[in-house]
Structure 1
């Protein structure tokens, strides 16, 4: 069972986060300051989560004594720009407050899995390889071959695939197998940063460049100097930021917002998207010259439903990892569960499979995982359910589409999400699902 230390001075937040992690199978210790945290032996933890602003010393002081233990920094949006400096100091990642539970759990799972991948992967010795990705299907074997060929180069790479297929895992494999693997790998989800902040976050800014810029800040591109910059969902990048990124690729230099001086950077760019960038370029929503710069090497990640030979192997590995994390005896799938796993279409891909297994392990009363515990049924039953709900789904889509198109020119994303009663992340996901793109500013 992974052991996590939470360092947070606000007791309500600390206890809420502790309950969340304990519920999902983690052992948790807590501290209210750096001084209290340093009373623990850091090596006993698999991960330390600390707030940036703490009474006394800041959370970054923990980086000095954490050793090989990864440190995840929590920071408010007001201080988000300091995240670059945090990453340079040795933090494995940062997360903006307030955060959604799923966002925090996914970050923790990714970090803990990376730390103990070799120990956790023992059920899959024959399916996991030097890329760290599970798969034996023809499509995945071809992908692994391309990764090994491309990784040692400095060529730009565009990873394409549906949401939940594991595009970030491919980016991590490219970095791990590259000559830059001792340098930083900075991962950025372009859809998760507000348009008003994206240029400053990526390229940095000078003091006084805009209201609230009380000091100069380093951008994420600069923070990736000597390493790899991974831009996920690059199709959501505003046109102004696209122009700046093009300069990085053409001239290997950046210019901070509000500056007249340029500076050289040495960055290998890996981008990912589930959208058709070529079509977006033809429609004027993505720069055509940037598209061709990115598309030097294109890697297509197949959907899970196209990896029939891998589904059950992935499921077994995920089940073993989940049991180990929760500190319980190994479980097995029943024959009917295996049949359901292989026949379900997995529209949410590996991410949906992982969530289904987590749910089943939590609800299971013995060592047998059944299809109903995973919440999936054979594709025939799914199709019948889909038909019965089609009218309701169509009504929801019609209302959502009409409201967004009617108000998106007069409201920002935060206002739209609030009026629709959803989070910004949910708004973005529904835009992708329903094909409602926000017009890019020219």
Structure 2
């Protein structure tokens, strides 16, 4: 059987060191041993592939705390499990604050140690997964491993070469502008401007002049000619966000842009031709607004040539981990928190949340964790109270299961049902094979 991972045992007491080595080998771990901290650091330098370190806290020469500090300097991603006597628990807790994964107090059942090492190994694998996912968004820069997100992305890519209007429909925070920018970047207009305007953020009295421009003397403060945003976007893409909030008086003028490819600046004697592609977005039900007489029917039919529905985050659960990896990388670089990861317990909390604010809310949570976290691993305590205090879903009597445990068991059962055929299991689970292989490695499923 392939070893589950490499564990370095650091223990000055030879009988105890031999016991730990034998038990860990029996549990199918590859084991290295060291009698002291200096020897342990030499072992790590020689091999360089240690997954978990198990070390006694009280040893001659280099203490466990000193060894922990050295390991954190050399390879901060390696989890360290501290073994301590009952009277030294306070020191073990201090070690956890200094970055240790967990501690085990003597005397302990060997099952307790094995469970702790297994948890540390899962954390190590998850941290490696997060680091490996960084920068894997592809040419569009969009995280889309779930079928729910792949479908709209593929539609956008098929629509990119032509100039037909595109309407993006989705909840606030789902990334509609990011998709619009990806569409522009994949289109023949990519070298021309991408101009975005939020139709609900600009007062009606200013929106018309902003979009269509004006001539000197058109109104009191019009002291010189001003090109509108449609003209600024010449040859490129005009993104109209929150199109459902556009004032009725301006909807007719937008219709003229779509039909005649021209704008009429305020105070101008004649229309001005424009060359833009129009991409619009809304989080509202435009069909309902049409029925209520609040949105022009003819404009709606002009805008909905290609409709792309952007799913909320709660419907694209396969994208949560890749999104977390992307956001850790994005904000970690800006905040000087490189190689920061997330504990599995924190991931469990994130997976339980229904994300009403979608990706924008997730981004805020990750940024908060990077700013307030004191270590290179964001834990549950670094998450907002409203998220971390959310109760677990109801489970059957007995020990509560985390979502990660439920997912691992479900994947294992599906793989068994598929007679070990990973491609078939991926289809049954609704995952692509790359995602399934990553989860098999994360959960140590052979």
TM-score, length-normalised on structure 2?
0.57
Secondary structure of the 1:380 match is coil
1:40-84 Cα deviation digits (max 9, x unpaired): xxxxxxxxxxxxxxxxxxxxxxxxxxxxxxxxxxxxxxxxxxxxx
1:203/1:221 contact within 8 Å kept: yes
1:377 pairs with 2:388: yes
Corresponding position of 1:201:
210
Q: State how far apart, in whole Å, the 1-side matches of 2:390 and 2:309 are.
A: 25
Change (3 A) 1:122 1:211: farther
1:344 pairs with 2:349: no
Q: State how far apart, in whole Å, the 2-side matches of 1:218 and 1:321 are.
A: 35
Corresponding position of 2:161:
152
Q: State how far apart, in whole Å, the 2-side matches of 1:135 and 1:318 are.
A: 14
1:229/1:268 contact within 8 Å kept: yes
**What is the Cα deviation at residue 307 of structure 1?**
0.6
Change (3 A) 1:289 1:325: same
- The equivalences for 1:27-38 within 5 A come to none
Q: State how far apart, in whole Å, the 2-side matches of 1:237 and 1:372 are.
A: 42
Secondary structure of the 1:298 match is strand
Corresponding position of 2:87:
none
Secondary structure of the 2:145 match is coil
Q: State how far apart, in whole Å, the 1-side matches of 2:381 and 2:152 are.
A: 33
Of 337, 342, 345, which residue of structure 2 is paired with 1:333?
342
1:139 pairs with 2:160: no
**What is the Cα deviation at residue 259 of structure 1?**
2.0
Corresponding position of 2:198:
189
- The equivalences for 1:77-116 within 5 A come to none
1:257 pairs with 2:270: no
Q: State how far apart, in whole Å, the 2-side matches of 1:371 and 1:251 are.
A: 56
Q: State how far apart, in whole Å, the 1-side matches of 2:348 and 2:267 are.
A: 59
**What is the Cα deviation at residue 130 of structure 1?**
2.1
Secondary structure of the 1:186 match is strand
**What is the Cα deviation at residue 159 of structure 1?**
0.4
Q: Greater CA radius of gyration, 1 or 2?
A: 2
1:315 pairs with 2:361: no
Of 168, 174, 178, which residue of structure 2 is paired with 1:165?
174
**What is the Cα deviation at residue 203 of structure 1?**
0.2
2:352/2:392 contact within 8 Å kept: no
Q: State how far apart, in whole Å, the 2-side matches of 1:308 and 1:181 are.
A: 31
Q: State how far apart, in whole Å, the 2-side matches of 1:372 and 1:125 are.
A: 24
**What is the Cα deviation at residue 334 of structure 1?**
1.0
Q: State how far apart, in whole Å, the 2-side matches of 1:174 and 1:329 are.
A: 30
**What is the Cα deviation at residue 124 of structure 1?**
2.8
Corresponding position of 2:280:
271
Secondary structure of the 1:208 match is coil
Structure 1 unaligned residues grouped into runs of 5+: 1-120, 384-442
Change (3 A) 1:222 1:365: same
Q: State how far apart, in whole Å, the 2-side matches of 1:256 and 1:232 are.
A: 21
2:337/2:370 contact within 8 Å kept: no
1:271-316 Cα deviation digits (max 9, x unpaired): 0010011111111111111011000000111000111100111012
- The equivalences for 1:351-370 within 5 A come to 351-370=360-379
Change (3 A) 1:335 1:222: same
Structure 2 unaligned residues grouped into runs of 5+: 1-129, 395-446
1:290 pairs with 2:299: yes
Secondary structure of the 2:391 match is helix
Q: State how far apart, in whole Å, the 2-side matches of 1:166 and 1:176 are.
A: 15
1:228/1:270 contact within 8 Å kept: yes
- The equivalences for 1:44-83 within 5 A come to none
1:90-128 Cα deviation digits (max 9, x unpaired): xxxxxxxxxxxxxxxxxxxxxxxxxxxxxxx98436851
Q: State how far apart, in whole Å, the 2-side matches of 1:367 and 1:268 are.
A: 44
Secondary structure of the 1:352 match is helix
Q: State how far apart, in whole Å, the 1-side matches of 2:136 and 2:348 are.
A: 20
Corresponding position of 2:11:
none
**What is the Cα deviation at residue 381 of structure 1?**
6.1
- Count the aligned residue pairs: 263
1:175 pairs with 2:184: yes
